[in-house]
Structure 1
């Protein structure tokens, strides 16, 4: 509940600021697609400034997320390995518990099957 309140306290002013940015910066700006001659507007696209700013912020978030995801690959691999080892250890524990239970059942029988002699 407190997380939702904090999210509203943070996200509401951020949303208001983004709307204000969009309303104030509606004029079109040229984006030149010719890297060698940026003054030539022949290969330019006109977009509103707020679209450019929000698009670059979104691109930055996306690139940062991908970089973080790639950087954390070793931790995901270690977690998968630990889960596999845990499953293997649990299976071994279950097998050992079954062997102990079987051994206790054998100990209650007299004479034990392994020690009984066949009749001559």
Structure 2
């Protein structure tokens, strides 16, 4: 319940802010990708300004997520290694347990009479 309330408190104002930002920045602007000749229409894109703002935010989120993912690679690798080692030791314990049970059943059987 608290998480839902926090999401509402954070995301509703953020959504309202983004809508206001979009309405306030509807004018068309040109993004020129050729620094030597900005009038080159082949390497320029025209769109409302809020589109470029949203694309910049999305690109920042993606780059931040990728950077975080790459910096946490050593921890994921260690977790995989320790998980496989835990599985190995679990198998070994099961093997030892089954051998102990087998020995216990053999010890409890009467000796064969001949």
TM exceeding 0.5: yes
From 40, 47, 58, the equivalent of 1:42 is 40
SS in 2 for 1:15: helix
Q: How many residues align?
A: 112
Partner Cα distance (2:93, 2:85) in 1: 12
SS in 2 for 1:30: strand
- For residues 1-120 of structure 1, the aligned pairs below 5 Å read 1-37=1-37, 40-43=38-41, 44-111=44-111
Residue ranges of structure 1 left out of the alignment (5+ in a row): none
Once the two structures are TM-superposed, the CA of residue 2 in structure 1 deviates from its matched residue by 1.5
**Greater C-alpha radius of gyration:** 1
Structure 1 segments of 4 or more deviating over 3 A? none
TM-score by length of 1: 0.84
Residue ranges of structure 2 left out of the alignment (5+ in a row): none
CA-atom RMSD in angstroms: 1.7
TM-score by length of 2: 0.88
Partner Cα distance (2:72, 2:59) in 1: 20
